[in-house]
Amino acid sequence: MDVVARHSVKITGRPDGQPMVFAHGFGCDQHMWRYVAPRFEDEFKVIVFDHVGAGGSDLAAYDVERYSTLAGYADDVVQICRELDLHDVIFVGHSVSAMIGVLASLDAPELFDKLVLVGPSPRYIDDENYEGGFTEQDITELLDSLESNYLGWSSVMAPVIMGNSDRPELGADLTASFCRTDPEIARRFAGVTFLSDNRAELLQVQTPTLVLQCINDAIAPMAVGAFVHDAIAGSSMVLLNATGHCPNLSAPDETFDAIAAFVRT
Amino acid sequence: VSGAQDPLFDDDAEHLHELAPCGFLTTKPDGTIINVNSTFLMLTGFQREDLVGRRRFADLLTGGGRIYHETHYAPMLSMHGRVREIALDIVCADGGRLPTLVNSVLERNAAGTPVLVRTAVFDATDRREYERELLRAKQRAEDSEARATALARTLQQTLIPPTPPHIPGLDVAALYRPAGSGEEVGGDFYDIFQVSGREWVVVIGDVCGKGVEAAVVTALVRHTLRALVVGHAGPGDALGILNDILLRHDTDRFCTVALLWLRCEDEAWTATASVGGHPMPLLLRPGSAPVALGIPGSLIGAFERPEFHDAELALVPGDSLVLYTDGVTEGRLGDEFFGDARMYDALTTNAAEPEGSAASMGSHLLEQVTTFQQGNPRDDIAIVVVQVPFSR
């Protein structure tokens, strides 16, 4: 299966424009960017995609081994860029995809022009002299919470949710799959995401980077955003007056303005 | 109706909100609690003033629940304007956990800007315990299925030789592909073993049916044949005794077998074939059409007076003998069988290549049959190829 279909890649905007690749975080899919990404279309080539396991991606391509670390996801980003022959990429990653973008930029620095990290966290669990905001028990409870919330996922509903149904009237809404995926994959992705530690990699980033930090983010608190900003030499940080972890949904105007100001420099 | 005596008459919206059989919360779009009903306070042990204007809904959740809230709940609420039946644990005033199911709706003003979120919270303590039971049962079922699959694979491995076959002076290849995903033990088997100094036997067969019971019979057939042949019975005699043993065995199952006895004298190989109900071995001689080697014999384990015949052939360099099970020829796509013609074609296309080794011939045939069935054969497939190399 080709990379474009595997990730349900959607390309819009100016064909000759500088490419902006928008990556969604744990939990949802490319629709996370629906209030922000289209606003760059008049000037940029805009690419959105789903990580394997999310949204409209090919679930059959989910390989437990490959996706047991963020490196597998980062390699997917590099593959997408190469397959689409993208250069000077502006990578905009939300949540865990911020770190996926960091890893991709270290694997293939020649592909990337800028990184925009929205609500990044290099490590979610507290450590010595580091406050990630969570304990290991929190993550265990998250995994429980995922299991409870996916009881509704059944073999009957899955094809409807994934839009492969014989009954198109049920799968017509493209956002039906939003935040819903195979529970086993969700559980694994949660483990990979929230048990990751990429603090060391931040120090190696050479690509110009913008950190977007919400003032009240329950997942990536201010101190974590500041840590990322400090660790990436030459990076800039913009505070968004938004509550929660998803300014791309809750504060799209501010999010757009901050990204636009950075990518036009 | 006289309102004064009707208790319903006194029920107003305020009572309905305060005393509803579920917790109600009203929050700003950022989650800050602006109203809460008595039921919620009773369920969680909080005082109204602990919450209103002070806490956000997400603050009341466990760490894991907070992540779920941020990564699923809030995005879904923003995208769809409502979420339903979300399982979240609330950390109560005393630190205890209250399992709940939560529904929320997002209200927007005329301009489409979110103004508030209304949330209903249901105590789901018993339901959650039941769900945990279900999850445990599911986990047990999955473990047990995994064990059964592992057992089937192990059992299957005992039905074919543990090491790749080798006969000095001949090029030998054996291939086995279980049906479907290999979770069930199939009835196909093969065996290759030495009888004496320069005598070797190749056996391929198929016990009717699948599963553990078929596997038991398959093991019996395979080991019985080894004992009989090493005891110097001829191929046809061996099949005859096997027939008696199966008839007397406490099973209704029968089997098919093709047995090839290979002898080398003065650098020249001779093959003696005997067949019981099985597709006959094919002889592929470069430049000639494929020929079936042997004389058809009875199904084994089905009849009191079976007939088996030996057929002998002197092999020359370049000859290939192909033994296979009906998973090859009866491989199906819809109503169509793979059939003899496609098999001959697959074998001769490959035999025409000067480098065509036994392994490449066998794997080419297996690949053709598998592809024909769109990668998902419904029956087991076993193939053994024996080739007399050109002398160097």
pLDDT digits (tens, 9 = 90+) for B375-392: 888 888 999 999 999 865
For residue A87, give how far its alpha carbon lies from the nearest alpha carbon of chain B (Å): 31
ipTM of the complex: 0.87
**The pairing of beta strand A45-49 with beta strand A19-23:** parallel
Count the residues in chain A.
265
Q: Tell whether A170 lies on the interface with B, counting CB pairs under 8 A.
A: no
Q: Tell whether A31 lies on the interface with B, counting CB pairs under 8 A.
A: yes
Q: Tell whether B66 lies on the interface with A, counting CB pairs under 8 A.
A: yes
Pick the more confident residue, B100 or B234.
B100
The mean pLDDT value for A1-24 works out to: 94
Q: Tell whether A24 lies on the interface with B, counting CB pairs under 8 A.
A: no
Q: What is the pLDDT of residues B144-165, one digit of tens each?
A: 988 888 888 888 778 888 887 8
Residue with structure tokens 């093959």? B271
Distance CA B49, CA B41 (A): 10
Pair A28, A179: CB distance under 8 Å: yes
Distance CA B388, CA B357 (A): 10
CB contact under 8 A, A135 and B63: yes
CB contact under 8 A, B71 and A245: yes
CB contact under 8 A, B71 and A26: yes
**Cβ-based neighbours of B90, under 8 Å, separated by 6 or more:** B43, B44, B60, B61, B65, B97, B98, B100, B121
Distance CA B256, CA A60 (A): 38
pLDDT at A236: 97
Pick the more confident residue, B30 or A99.
A99
Q: Is the pLDDT of residue A102 over 70?
A: yes
The mean pLDDT value for B219-239 works out to: 88
For residue B96, give how far its alpha carbon lies from the nearest alpha carbon of chain A (Å): 14
pLDDT at B153: 80
Pair B117, B29: CB distance under 8 Å: yes
Residue with structure tokens 């990699």? A201
CA-to-CA separations, B369 to A14, A210, B182, B277, B342, in angstroms, rounded: 48, 55, 17, 22, 9
Pair B100, B124: CB distance under 8 Å: yes
> CA-nearest residue of chain A to B59?
A218
Q: What is the pLDDT of residues A229-240, one digit of tens each?
A: 999 999 999 999
Neighbours of B138 (CB within 10 A): 12
What are the chain A neighbours of B78 within 8 Å (beta carbons)?
A: 246, 249-250
pLDDT at A95: 95
Pick the more confident residue, A94 or A28.
A94
Which of B71, B76, B87 has the CB atom closest to A148's CB atom?
Answer: B87
The mean pLDDT value for B51-62 works out to: 94
Question: pLDDT confidence of A126, banded at 50, 70, 90?
Answer: very high
The mean pLDDT value for B163-169 works out to: 86
Q: What is the DSSP letter of B72?
A: I
CB contact under 8 A, B71 and A95: yes
Best of A148, A215, A245, A249 to disrupt the B interface (most B CBs within 10 Å) is: A148
Q: B328 is written with which tokens?
A: 């090859």
Q: Tell whether B80 lies on the interface with A, counting CB pairs under 8 A.
A: yes
Burial A207-223 (b: 16+ CB within 10 A, else e): bbbbbbbbebbbbbbee
Comparing A234-243, B30-39, B284-293, the range with the smallest average pLDDT is: B284-293
- Catalytic residue numbers of A read 95, 217, 245
Distance CA B103, CA B383 (A): 59
What are the chain A neighbours of B80 within 8 Å (beta carbons)?
A: 175, 178
Neighbours of B376 (CB within 10 A): 9
Q: Tell whether B108 lies on the interface with A, counting CB pairs under 8 A.
A: no
Pair B157, B177: CB distance under 8 Å: no
Q: Which helix (H) or strand (E) holds B214?
A: helix B211-230
Q: Alpha-carbon torsion B234, B236, B242, B245, what sign?
A: negative
Count helices and strands in chain B by DSSP H and E runs: 12, 17
Q: Give long-range contacts, CB 8 A cutoff, 24+ apart: A199-204.
A: A199/A122, A199/A123, A199/A130, A199/A227, A199/A231, A201/A99, A201/A102, A201/A103, A201/A106, A201/A122, A202/A102, A202/A122, A202/A228, A202/A231, A202/A232, A203/A231, A203/A232, A203/A233, A204/A106
Q: Which residues pair with A239 in a beta bridge?
A: A213
Q: Which string of DSSP letters, residue by residue, matches A60-118?
A: GG--TTGGGSHHHHHHHHHHHHHHTT--SEEEEEETHHHHHHHHHHHH-GGGEEEEEEE
Q: What is the pLDDT of residues B79-92, one digit of tens each?
A: 889 998 888 999 99
